[in-house]
Structure 1
Amino acid sequence: MKALVLEEYKKLVYKDVMDPEIRPDEVLVRIKACGICGSDVHGFDGSTGRRIPPVIMGHEASGTIETTGQAVKKWHKGDRVTFDSTVYPLDDWFTLEGRYNLSDNREVLGVSPGEYRRNGAFAEFLSVPQHILYRIPDSVTFEQAAMVEAAAVALHSINVAQMKAGDSCVVTGAGMIGTFLIKLLRIAGAGIIIAIDIDSGKLASAKEAGADKVFNASEKNIEEKIKALTNSRGSDISFEAAGKNETVNTAIAAARKGGTVVLIGNTSKTIELPLQKIVTGELKILGSCAIRGEYEIILKLLEDKRLNVDDQISAIAPLSEGADWFRKLYNKEGNLRKVILIP
């Protein structure tokens, strides 16, 4: 099969590789669409250390089942499917507790951090276990289904936050996850939604997605401006979707006393935290990792036309041109949002 292989950092090669084998409980998926995630772009240059070459990246994908393993009964050739980005064992303690995203033995598609190498979906075929599959509704396209993973990550963070209708919310980092956060917060009945980013283009997109107010991170006195919009308190919930020292501290500064800060961004390994503000303000600092069952909800929102993902797709291109699109994203050319590659 053909695949886009990260042979070394900043070197992607479209080449022939061996077709994946499937185990009895797995299916072979013919990939129809795979989105380039921001984490793939960071993996491209080695900045996160989680995509050690050689590896086939890609975890935001959809396709049709080509063949099934002997133990697979409810899935059949031709079924239209998408799948969780996390491969997890069913007998793990965390899985049995309903928190498979925290499994000690989880592996992420298209990731090779050193402990494992799990090839991903920038390829013609991919083998995945049947328990991470989700059926795509007839009215949802393969390209739309390739956007489900990013939206599900955003929805999981809202579930982690235990948001209530009317809660004031700040979203720091208006990239793909941040934009979906804004859309889903609006659907979920949030109160005022405020977006913060350094990029004026992303702030414009955040406004279109449903943010009531946007601030450029370079502005002065943002904390006071947020208080002025939230009854002099600060936000009930503050989401951080960039994963950098400055943005995490911005998110914490935006939260009211007794408020909740949810950290989604995972770019930096370590950051500095304002300990005294957290302690004296009794802030709840929560991490949100990947997805835990949110795929079906996102697929239903797409089917019902309640969530629009098409406005986030900047380009649909052949997988053979993938190296060029990675370069454009890496160099931040053209204000690109999501690029979807088609094998």
Structure 2
Amino acid sequence: MKVLELVAPSEFVISEKQKPVPQAGEVLIKVACCGICGSDVHGMDNSSGRRIPPMIMGHEASGVIEEVGAEVSGWNEGDRVSFDSMVYCGKCEHCKRGETNLCHHRQVMGVSCQEFKRDGAFAEWVVVPSLILERIPEGLGFEEAAFTEPLAVALHAVNLVQVKKGERTLVVGSGLIGLLVIQALKRAGAGEVVAVDTDRKRLDLALKLGATGAYTPDEDSGDEFDIAMEV
């Protein structure tokens, strides 16, 4: 299969790799779409230190199950799916407490290095544990479904602040996650959602997606807020 492989900082090549085979508890997914995360950009140029070549990045993806491994139930060939980027065992004490991010056996698809390394979805196919699959609803396209992972990040952030109806909120940063947070705050009942960013084009998009105000850091709105989020 063809993969987009990071072979050195800021250097990608299209390589031929053996098509993976799902093991027990895993499925093989034919990748339809894979997003480029901001962390992929920082990983590509080695500014974050979290992407050590050679590796296959990509952790915001969607596709179709092509093969189902042993001991997998509830999933079938042809199912349209997205998935979390965090692979966990589901059996250790951390997993049993819902702290899957602390699993001693965790891997992060296309993100982490050394013992946490696992190939990501910048490839024609990817193997994924059935534990982290999410079913794509009817009517939702693959491009939209590839937003599942970053959208989950934004929703988790909004759930943590427990916004109350009508509260005035400030979102510092209008990248992808910030734009998703803005929309989630509106859906959660926030009265005002004000965006802050250094990029005027991002602020214009924030307004288009529901922000009630938009400012650069050198502008003073004179407003006070109940909640401020930096993303």
Q: What is the TM-score with the length of structure 1 in the denominator?
A: 0.65
Partner of 1:280: none
Matched, 1:106 2:133: no
| CA shift digits 1:39-85 (9 cap, x unpaired) | 11111101111110000000000001111111012111111111111
Partner of 1:123: 123
Name the CA distance, whole Å, in 2 between partners of 1:157 and 1:99: 16
Name the CA distance, whole Å, in 2 between partners of 1:135 and 1:104: 27
SS at match of 1:112: coil
Name the CA distance, whole Å, in 2 between partners of 1:115 and 1:86: 13
Partner of 1:54: 54
* Native 8 Å contact 1:35 1:60 kept in 2: yes
Name the CA distance, whole Å, in 1 between partners of 2:103 and 2:68: 25
- Pairs aligned (count): 231
5 Å matches for 1:274-313? none
SS at match of 1:32: strand
| CA shift digits 1:275-326 (9 cap, x unpaired) | xxxxxxxxxxxxxxxxxxxxxxxxxxxxxxxxxxxxxxxxxxxxxxxxxxxx
Q: Percent identity?
A: 46
Name the CA distance, whole Å, in 2 between partners of 1:187 and 1:134: 22
In structure 1, the gaps of 5 or more residues are 242-343
Matched, 1:43 2:33: no
Partner of 2:2: 2
SS at match of 2:75: coil
Partner of 1:176: 176
Deviation of the 1:98 alpha carbon? 2.0
Partner of 1:313: none
AA aligned to 1:44 is: M
Name the CA distance, whole Å, in 1 between partners of 2:103 and 2:3: 29
Following TM superposition, the consecutive aligned residue runs of length 4 or more in structure 1 with deviations greater than 4 angstroms are none
Deviation of the 1:99 alpha carbon? 2.9
SS at match of 1:105: coil
Partner of 2:145: 145
* Native 8 Å contact 2:106 2:116 kept in 1: no
* Native 8 Å contact 1:53 1:112 kept in 2: no
5 Å matches for 1:85-234? 85-219=85-219, 222=220, 225=221, 228-230=222-224
Q: What is the TM-score with the length of structure 2 in the denominator?
A: 0.95
AA aligned to 1:24 is: A
Partner of 1:237: 227
- Aligned-CA RMSD value: 1.3
Q: Which has the higher helix share?
A: 1
* Native 8 Å contact 1:25 1:72 kept in 2: yes
Name the CA distance, whole Å, in 2 between partners of 1:112 and 1:150: 17
In structure 2, the gaps of 5 or more residues are none
Partner of 1:84: 84
